[in-house]
Amino acid sequence: MAKILVIDDDKSIRESLELYLEEEGYDVYTAPNGTEGLNRFVAITPDVVILDIRLPDIDGFTVLEDLREEDEKVKVVMITAHHDMETTIKAMKGGAFDYIHKPIDVDELDIAIGKALGSIEMEKKISGLLMEHPRDFKVGDIIGTGKKMKEVFKTIGVVSQSKTTVLIQGESGTGKELIAKCIHYNTSRDEPYIAVNCSAIVETLLESELFGHEKGSFTGAIARKQGKFELARYGTVFLDEISEMSVNLQAKLLRVLQEMEFERVGGKDRVKVNARIIAATNKDLKKMVQEGRFRDDLFYRLNIVSIQIPPLRERREDLAPLVEYLLKKANRELHKKIAGVSDEIMNIFLRYNWPGNIRELENLLIRAAVVAKGQVLGKEDFPDLVEEKHGASTDREIAGSEPGKMLTLDEVEEMHIRKVISNTDKNKGEICEILGISRPTFERKLEKYGISFTKE
């Protein structure tokens, strides 16, 4: 309920406004003079203040000034006695949101309050990019300074006006989920955001996860269960790793997208989908369509709006701000006071190719921050990156730890494999993907170089 504070020395005006506004559904507070008005303002933080210009103790303009000092964005509707331009201009210049004349016309008042509240909503939406979400999510935390990221932000802005389906593509660790949340919180922040990883669960389970099931529809279905599409209500369903969805489920999802309705597993009732669907993948979905591994009709349904997040190596201008931002985050979590990285490290960062993108950078910085003794992270704090015997050749050359030594191709290969393993948090399949080799080849190479790695 919106809170309104009425500051007016005329008792009959206070009372009638209170009566009227309460009937309109507002929470109304009153004060007979400026001093009390200011006190009440601080105590109750109203959304809108209705302020008389002529007050017994402090002049209304001064009260306005004081109110704005308390809260720069305060919405003050001034009550002016005269229709003279001068007072009005003075009020508006002083930062009043609007003004109405005495005798008060309730329609005029309604419009002024409505506009003020609408403007608060707008401000919330706009600063949504900077506001802290109750679940510890700050959308303003997306770093991106270059042209490509600006394009991404623009698209987020556009899609936040509607509920179109969005497909987010980008290498692993580029921030796909972050962008999905950003879209969600800019569109329907009070509704649920529900993420489903399409690769993590077996097909039948995924189906009932998504669509829910009726009691007794399969062994173990002891009660009716709502699926994610239902639970998300008017919010967002985030389908992560959509490329991993089985062909069978792809067909079912397609139907849901076409009809925006579905049935629970084992059920007959049609359930409506009101949520927005955002899908994400680190695969080249178009290529998968060409190869017949992903349904083309589903691809087109998902790809209504597409967001391609560039890999970190294609936006090196973001490295410095990302390091700053991620270190601040690490400092908060680890209770540290790391000020930054050395120039030497920054230079290595700028030349490194970041296969694990921002997640890789984040992990690296966190690990360094944990062990760091000083305030500036230097070479000694990044053993994986610069000093480890099996660090990637490029890093070693760049870091100059063994200047002049030429490496054999096998050594380069071994180091690169070790690097990818230690710098990303991936399983075998994903690492094969990054390295662009088949699983058997990968196994052979692990054996050849005596690397033990078992993460399936």
Ligand X SMILES: Nc1ncnc2c1ncn2[C@@H]1O[C@H](COP(=O)(O)OP(=O)(O)OP(=O)(O)O)[C@@H](O)[C@H]1O
Pick the closer one to ligand X by CB: 109 or 312: 312
Q: State the binding string over 358-377 for ligand X (x if CB under 6 A, else -).
A: xx--x---------------
CB 229 within 8 A of CB 255: no
Span from 47-55, 176-184, 306-314, 421-429 in contact with Mg ion (CB under 5 A): 176-184
Nearer to ligand X, 75 or 181 (CB): 181
d(C-alpha 324, C-alpha 330), whole Å = 10
Under the binding rule (CB under 6 A), the answer on residue 79 touching ligand X is no
Does residue 437 bind ligand X (CB under 6 A)? no
Q: Name the burial class of residue 289, with classes exposed (0-12), middle (13-18) and buried (19+) by CB atoms within 10 angstroms of its CB.
A: middle
Q: 209: how many CB neighbours lie within 10 A of its CB?
A: 21
Q: What residues between 278 and 317 interact with Mg ion by CB under 5 A?
A: none
Identity of the residue, 49 or 326, whose beta carbon is nearer to ligand X in the bound complex: 326
Calculate ∠ Cα 305-307-311, nearest 5°.
165
Should residue 201 be labelled a site residue for ligand X when binding is judged by CB under 6 A?
Answer: no
* Amino acid at the residue 370: V
311 binds ligand X (CB under 6 A): no
- Interface with Mg ion, residue 177, by CB under 5 A: yes
Question: Smallest distance, Å, CB 170 to ligand X?
Answer: 6
Measured from the CB atom, the residue of 37 and 175 that comes closer to ligand X is: 175
User: How near is the Cβ of 103 to ligand X at its closest, in Å?
Assistant: 55
Alpha-carbon distance values, 33 to 8, 107, 221 (Å): 6, 25, 65
Closest distance to Mg ion from the beta carbon of 307 (Å): 13
d(Cα 349, Cα 339) in Å, to the nearest integer? Answer: 17
Residue closest to 162 by CA, chosen among 255, 234, 210: 234
Consecutive H or E run containing 422: helix 409-423
User: Considering the rule CB under 6 A, would residue 355 count as an interface residue with ligand X?
Assistant: no
Q: Helix, strand, or coil here: 238?
A: strand
Report how far apart the first and last C-alpha atoms of the chain are (Å, whole number): 53
Q: Does 214 bind ligand X (CB under 6 A)?
A: no
**Among 24, 141, 314, 387, interactor with ligand X by CB under 6 A:** 141
Our finding on whether 4 is near ligand X (CB under 6 A) is: no
In the complex, the residues that contact ligand X under the rule CB under 6 A are 141-144, 170, 172-178, 282, 322, 325, 358-359, 362
Q: Which residues bind Mg ion (CB under 5 A)?
A: 177
